[in-house]
Amino acid sequence: MKVAVLFSGGKDSCYSAYKAKQAGNELTCLISIHSKNPDSYMFHTPNISLTKKQAEVMGLPLIVHETLGEKEKELDDLKDSIKIAKEKYEIEGVVTGALHSNYQAERIQKICDDLGLKCLNPLWHMDEINYLKNLIKDNFKVLIVGVAAYPLDNSWLNRIIDEKFVEDAKELKEKYKIHPAGEGGEFETFVLDCPLFKKELKAFKKNIKGEKHTWKMEIKIA
């Protein structure tokens, strides 16, 4: 089946694309929504402009759509971008990176139903710790570029998801009830390399901003 991937550049959208391809689907294009609201209910915002670089190393066309990020209204912008993918690339389905968020999954499902498309959620209800371990096993190089939860601080930025990170994330879940895969925005990520990439991306010029338990890292790609 020809599919478009809702693509933020983070681990969830990249890994869902990888799993969709493994299942025999054809990755036809990527859809990246650039929200002007950093607290968007639907869309990941850190380093979103760099999805262009990821699309290049994936060899896939990228549809970019801007939104003000107003709750519910931003769904109209998403629907418009999916319509473009359907008309231009003749997609039959849409791939999401939803793990446990009913808010996201239900709204994307409704858009797909309205447009006569299948909605694929390859990561749905995957165990979070096993998911992090699978990222490592499947050679995903994932950089932490944002945190937003107690007791996280800027020392978590610029870390790669590795065995030590998995152990630390497990401890955070047990002690503080933090989602270890960061689906609630506790962690934001950027994928530097994975089996879908023709070459690894190199991050540099890391600009860190924030305070207390909310920090973001803006990067540039070589």
State the span(s) of the chain assigned CATH 3.90.1490.10.
140-221
State the span(s) of the chain assigned CATH 3.40.50.620.
2-120
Give the total residue count for the chain: 222
Name 15's Cβ contacts closer than 8 Å, sequence gap at least 6. Answer: 97, 122, 123, 131, 134, 135, 138, 140, 194
DSSP 122-180: TTTT--HHHHHHHHHHTT-EEEEEEEESTT--GGGTT-B-SHHHHHHHHHHHHHH---T
Per-residue pLDDT of the chain (222 residues; tens, 9 = 90+): 999 999 999 999 999 999 999 999 999 999 999 877 665 555 656 688 899 999 999 999 999 988 875 666 788 999 999 999 999 999 999 999 999 888 889 999 999 999 999 999 999 999 999 999 999 999 999 999 999 999 999 999 999 999 999 999 999 999 999 989 988 789 999 999 999 999 999 998 789 999 999 999 999 998
CATH 3.40.50.620 fits 2-120, yes or no: yes
* CB 85, CB 91: distance < 8 Å: yes
Architecture of domain 140-221: Alpha-Beta Complex (3.90)
